[in-house]
Structure 1
Amino acid sequence: MLKHEQDAGVVDTGSLVRRWITYVAGIYVLTLGVSLAISAGIGISPQSSLTRTMTLVLPGISQGTFNFILELIMLALTYLAMPKDFKLRNFLSLVPAFALAAFLDLNLMLTSWIALDAYAAKFALLVFADATLAFGLFLMIRANLVLMPVDMFVNTIFKRTGWKWGNIKTGFDCTLLVISAAIGLLFLSAPHFIREGTIINGILVGQYVKLYFFLFKKYGSRKPADDLGPSLT
């Protein structure tokens, strides 16, 4: 995927400082989107549904903390999948994972006042939330820096098996949904946070990201005629 995006002139290969600023901003915007989707209350992404469900099972622990625990588990599974290819630098992925956990808890607090009754309003908020989440993801991909452990695990399975990346990601998301539903049934009598919004999220986020790449390629990557600096491609 990244190779295609580099060919499209979207991924930033310039200033490292600028890329880190873009990456951190992307993490914040992504977690804001997740928080807004939770406030919509009609279903959230597979990963969020699992970590959110865990906050009901163990209410003393924040969702950000559970998200970080999940990232730790994924890093361990990445090692078990391909131990010979695992490098010490892979632990750097825990830095953005920690930032994501902190930003998530912050944004959940900032959006906790949102309470909507009308379904149309909830649906509109979810659509906006998915657009926000996708824009954060777009910024992170554009920065082209460190993979989160979850994404690292999916990429590792892709390298080990040669299966299609999209199929692996779909299978991974479905596994998280099954685990989330099972925990809900076991501890809470019913699954939680898995609704029509979960399907909407799965459809819209990918389409939004494609739209952002298209718009950036068409408008954002243009340079003035007198700009002789190096291209981002």
Structure 2
Amino acid sequence: MSVPYVISLYIPFTFGSCVAAEQIILLVLQKIILKSDFEMRALLQLPTAILFGVFCDVALSLYSSISFSEYYQRFFSLCLGICILAVGLSFQFIANISVAAPDGFMLALAHRFKSSYSRVKVSVDWLFVAVSVGISFMFFKELHGVREGTLISALSVGTAVGIARPWVHKYLTRWMAAYSSGEGELRETNEG
């Protein structure tokens, strides 16, 4: 989300509006990349993009008073956020539910180029960071909106998903097996 953030620093639109616009563009790009493989259920990403943009603005408003003054606090919250995002994305992919447009775009690239989501995510995130830096220099003639946290996220989120996904899959498989066997026992008790 570094591209919409840098753009929102320059134009008179909110960060959430810029996020929604970016996600709609990425949805269109999915259609172009996948052509006939594009599934109509991906259109669910459109209302999700708009809601996500609204939630971004609401979250910024709610958390604007929270500020970490110490660098280690910022770094810890960044690492925690990366881990939470990786686990959440893993659940989302394993459940095979509609994903957000940026992840759908990366899944489309992974499908088209027969690569893994993790590899594509790291590459595309780095591309987005480069675009953000370029836009920043174009608008401000200096670097705005991109710092080391952006770089760490670009490198880490895709890698963290690659690490978390097998663990989440293993957990869900065990949980579903335990749930299924427990449900079967309950059915036998009720029938007897």
Check whether the contact 1:72–1:94 (CA below 8 A) recurs between aligned residues.
yes
After superposition, the Cα gap between the structure-2 partners of 1:138 and 1:83, relative to the gap in structure 1 and judged at 3 Å, is closer
Alignment of 1:116 with 2:116, yes or no, is no
How many pairs does the alignment contain? Answer: 181
Q: Report the counterpart of residue 57 of structure 1 in structure 2.
A: 10
- Structure 1 residue identity aligned to 2:86: A
1:117 shift after superposition: 1.9
Deviations 1:7-36 (A, max 9, x none): xxxxxxxxxxxxxxxxxxxxxxxxxxxxxx
Alignment gaps of 5+ in structure 2: 186-192
After superposition, the Cα gap between the structure-2 partners of 1:221 and 1:170, relative to the gap in structure 1 and judged at 3 Å, is same
Q: Report the counterpart of residue 122 of structure 2 in structure 1.
A: 170
1:57 shift after superposition: 0.9
Partner SS state of residue 112, structure 1: coil
Aligned with 1:152 (options 85, 104, 110):
104
Of 173-182 and 184-193, more deviation after overlay is shown by 184-193
After superposition, the Cα gap between the structure-2 partners of 1:99 and 1:220, relative to the gap in structure 1 and judged at 3 Å, is farther
- Structure 2 residue identity aligned to 1:122: R
Deviations 1:58-92 (A, max 9, x none): 1x312121111111111222222233333544322
CA distance in 1, matches of 2:66, 2:38: 43
Check whether the contact 1:64–1:105 (CA below 8 A) recurs between aligned residues.
yes
Aligned with 2:24 (options 56, 69, 72):
72
1:56 shift after superposition: 0.5
Check whether the contact 2:6–2:135 (CA below 8 A) recurs between aligned residues.
yes
CA distance in 1, matches of 2:175, 2:112: 36
1:142 shift after superposition: 4.7
TM-score, scaled relative to structure 2: 0.76
Task: Give the helix-richer structure, 1 or 2.
Answer: 2
Check whether the contact 1:64–1:100 (CA below 8 A) recurs between aligned residues.
yes
CA distance in 2, matches of 1:213, 1:152: 20
- Structure 2 residue identity aligned to 1:210: A
Alignment gaps of 5+ in structure 1: 1-47
Percent identity of equivalent pairs:
23
Aligned with 2:132 (options 162, 180, 183):
180
- Structure with higher Rg: it is 2
